[in-house]
Chain A
Amino acid sequence: MDDSEKISRLSATPTRVSEQWFEEPHAEQLDHVWSPPRGFLGWLVTTNHKDIGRRYIVTAFIFFLLAGILALMMRIQLARPENHFLNPDVYNQIFTTHGTAMMFLFAVPIMEGFGLYFVPLMIGTRNVAFPRMNAFGYFVYLFGGLMLFGGLLTNTGPDAGWFAYVPLSGPQFSPGHRVDIWADMITLTEIPALVGAVEIITTVFKQRAPGMSLNRIPLFVWAQVITSFMVLFAMPSIMLASGALAMDRLKNVNTHFFNVAEGGDALLWQHLFWFFGHPEVYIIFIPGTGFVSTIVETFSRRKMFGYPAMVLSLIATAFIGFGLWVHHMFATPLPKLGQAFFTGASMLIAIPSGIQIFCWIATLATGKPKLKIPLLWVLGFIVVFVLGGMTGIVLASMSIDIQVHDTFFVVAHFHYVLIGGAVFPLFGALHYWFPKWTGRMLNRALAQWQFWLFFIGFNLTFFPMHILGFHGMTRRIYTYLPETGWGNLNLLATIGAATMGISVLLFLINVAVSRKSGALAGENPWGGSTLEWMTASPPPSYNFLHLPTVAGRCPAWENTPETPVVSGLSTTEREVLTTTILDAVPEHRYEISPDSIWPLVLALVVGLDLLWMIFTPWAYPIGVFVGLVVLAFWFWRGNEPGWVVEGIMSTPPKSKTEQLALKTEDAKAPSHH
């Protein structure tokens, strides 16, 4: 029984598998239906997942550059003892903004951007489940980022650390609006993360290509789904914490969540923050493993070894990741027995990560590896991340941690795991998927220079920090005394940071040059195994001329011209196919919402309202009211054509009679061969 028969037998409703000729949707017709309007207006109203995914990636990368410049400024200040490049007030704003921007404005959004771009392509559908909510999420993210850097540029940047411990960040010790900007920006950046998580989970559960059962989902998609679940349960914690802090700080509200004098608790903040904060780093790392799995599979020329172990490891990491947070609080006055549990859990999580590393190496070892640039970044990832993991085990041990906690040893550790675990795979992914986005290849020689400068610069910057930590250099200090002897290693670290800066510059040059004159890529320049490589580079607005079906884990390698495609979806409306969760049997047709201005409007309302909330609590009820009005407009669309803004945007869909007429006509037309 061949695969197409299998698929049809699985279907609950009758589906015809036949070799008759059938209505071929013209590419222009599909493009007309699925493209946003042209021009600036189109930019404002588009709900295409590729547009929005690209926006996330580009915007997040810009924030990466800005936060990187802040890091360079910090390194210049710390290069010599008692330096006067930055005064302590500016330094505190800079290190707070660096951490906040890297974690909230770069790391999570860029992973989300890759997910929003590639998940629908990899599972063989045309868009995410809720395209307008997707557009809304991006605009809210943009406003959040603008709010943070706007604050920094007007000397109201937050200055209590990216973790904003109370009571320092409370109303008594951080008067003014600096921390308010931080707290409200948090809400603005958590909304897009949560929204993105809902998108990815729903899309992956319900819109996969027929035949893509759970055990055939690409590991990249698994990583995105598992990350999305983590986001759902972790982000509310920081939203609650920052909301409570904002309320404590607001003059006319004056709650006492964290005010010790009225029964509040300074440690409650830490519990809420780190209950979010620890899963947050896995929310950043797990998509990185998705990049690595994709690149390893493609460049080993074989499917991933140990696929079930890989999936279970991801799930185990996500679960265990929620049980570690107290290891950030080992120095606080907490009961020792409780803290001991977290030592054990923090070590336990190394096992699933270790299993993943073993599987990657096994795949390479039993494949036919080609050391192209993306694989080079994966090698760099293994070297850097595993070292970071080892220092993580050191930190997990409470007896050792109470010595190195809050020293540069910790700074070294988390940069090794975050840059190693997320940024190295990210550069590999950027290089790997650049041809798919632009249709051209990046320059190989420049990319090699970039890699080696980054690898050397990174180790030069952060390896000495392990030693500095052992020598007693604490974190978050704007300067240090000469007699500590920390000067030379700090200077070395600054030189390394400059090297990393040059490397990133090379990357930008490579992108700028290759976009215009790089070698043409074609559909599948690397010979990748997943569905995004089975369409043009860049993909058309509708992704696939025919929605594919799959019969294995590596459709780009395994699908043949005989593998069936999906037919029968509307070609005049935006319609996709939904399938069952476990086995991806076709289930029903689902209408995707059109382009719309309302996501931007709602995002403006939310952004301005949260800015206003810094000054008065009345902004909250007024914001809810205005938001409800906007939502009413958003949802008040029917199947009729021409509802206000949406009507002028896209061609009004044809009525049912017209559609039927079209179908019958085509059905009668003779074959054109």
Chain B
Amino acid sequence: MLKHRAIIDVSGLPATVLDHRSPIWWGNTLLLAIETTMFALLVACYFYVRVVDFTVWPPPNGNAIPPVYNTAPDLPLPLLNLGILLVSLVPMIWADRACLKRDARAVKFGLTLCVLLGIAVIAIRFLEFKSLHFKWSDNAYASIIWTLVGLHLTHLVIATSENLIMTIWVFVKGLDDKHARDVRVTAVYWYWVGVIWVLLFITIWGGARWL
């Protein structure tokens, strides 16, 4: 049945947009807002116990044999890992840009590199836990920093897995509009993983030396 009607014809509008105008982008950003709030609250806990419950910071480790008096987390390995994580942002930015031009080859290359670097960061992260000089069950300070590092590790794993799926997809199914949008949104998640680690790094490694 056809009728006379005033209409707004939207068939000419694009079916996909690749930036903040996409609902997918909004969903991702709002989820990141939730996770950021979570980390912010944990950092608040860190400062809270420092001010209210401890006089020596970081506290000495009496459980270790022999006891460790200076328990500030080591710098060399974690600093290296921070560097690798920040370096991994570069191929991701490259792949991100390439999506705008639908350059499948560049996207494949950038994503693969990012996944490999991500796996390296995860592997080294497991070694980083030793540099904390505490077991998570030693005291409240240890519990908080283990949770901060562990939660970030969870994000590293999830984000790298997401990057991996995106990579496999481009290889198997190619780079169409929708997938280019998905890669760009995944890139935002990876940038967040990197940037938030900078803030957490300063809190944990800096807090131990400056508070």
Contacts and interface: CB of A to CB of B under 8 A. Distances in A.
* Physical contact A–B (CB less than 8 Å): yes
Interface of A: 4, 7-8, 11, 13-24, 26, 129-130, 133, 194, 197-198, 201-203, 205-207, 210, 232-233, 235-237, 239-240, 244, 247-248, 253-257, 259, 262-265, 267-268, 271-272, 275, 546, 549, 562-569, 575, 577-578, 580, 586-591, 624, 628, 632, 635-636, 638-639, 669, 671-673
B27 interface: yes
Contacts of B161: 628, 632
B33 interface: yes
B13 A263 contact: no
Interface stretch (B69-77, B89-97, B116-124, B138-146): B138-146
A590 B27 CA distance: 14
A233 B37 contact: yes
Contacts of A19: 4-6
A587 B144 CA distance: 45
Given A8-B8, A671-B2, 19 more contacts: A15-B9, A21-B2, A21-B3, A198-B27, A206-B21, A244-B143, A247-B143, A256-B139, A256-B140, A262-B139, A265-B52, A268-B45, A268-B49, A567-B11, A588-B13, A588-B22, A589-B10, A636-B165, A672-B1
B65 interface: no
A16 B53 contact: no
B27 A255 contact: no
B4 to A, nearest CB: 6
Nearest to B42: A240
Given A236-B41, A263-B140, A566 B7 contact: yes
B173 interface: yes
Contacts of B137: 253-256
Contact of A7 (B1, B3, B8): B8
B67 interface: no
Contacts, number: 215
Interface string B181-209: 00000000000000000000000000000
A116 B11 CA distance: 27
A646 to B, nearest CB: 15
A236 B37 contact: yes
Contact of A262 (B1, B8, B13, B138): B138
B38 interface: yes
B49 A265 contact: yes
B129 interface: no
B59 A587 contact: no
Contacts of A262: 138-140
Contacts of A23: 2
Contacts of A568: 7-13
A545 to B, nearest CB: 11
Interface in B109-137: 136-137
**In the A-B complex, the 6 residue pairs with the closest CB atoms:** A568-B11, A255-B143, A263-B140, A564-B6, A254-B137, A264-B140
B66 to A, nearest CB: 20
Nearest to A235: B34
Secondary structure dominating the interface of A = mixed
A232 B41 CA distance: 13
Contacts of A564: 5-8
Contact of A567 (B10, B45, B178): B10
Contacts of B176: 639
A188 to B, nearest CB: 16
A255 B5 contact: no
Contact of B34 (A26, A232, A578, A671): A232
A14 B10 CA distance: 8
Contacts of A248: 143
Secondary structure dominating the interface of B = helix
A669 B1 CA distance: 11
A16 B7 contact: yes
B23 A206 contact: yes
Interface residues of B, number: 58
A273 to B, nearest CB: 12
B53 A264 contact: yes
A265 B178 CA distance: 49
A265 B141 CA distance: 11
Contacts of A13: 12-13
A563 B165 contact: no
A632 B143 CA distance: 32
B9 A247 contact: no
B74 to A, nearest CB: 21
A21 B137 CA distance: 73
17 contacts: A17-B8, A18-B7, A18-B9, A19-B4, A19-B5, A20-B4, A198-B30, A232-B30, A256-B142, A256-B143, A565-B5, A568-B10, A580-B21, A588-B15, A591-B178, A671-B2, A673-B2
Contact of B26 (A201, A232, A240, A267): A201
B140 A635 contact: no
A23 B37 CA distance: 48
Nearest to B165: A632
B158 interface: yes
A586 B30 contact: no
A413 B35 CA distance: 34
B149 to A, nearest CB: 13
B47 to A, nearest CB: 11
Contacts of B15: 575, 588-589, 591
A11 B161 CA distance: 39
B165 A635 contact: yes
A563 B8 CA distance: 10
A253 B146 CA distance: 11
Contact of B8 (A4, A237, A590): A4
Interface in B77-118: none
A21 B5 CA distance: 7
A194 B27 CA distance: 11
A293 to B, nearest CB: 25
Nearest to A567: B7
A22 B26 contact: no
Contacts of B140: 255-257, 259, 262-265
A567 B9 CA distance: 5
* Residue with the highest number of chain A CB atoms closer than 10 Å, among B22, B137, B147, B165: B137
Contacts of B143: 244, 247-248, 255-257, 264
A591 B178 CA distance: 10
B53 A263 contact: yes
Nearest to A260: B53
B12 A22 contact: no
A587 B3 contact: no
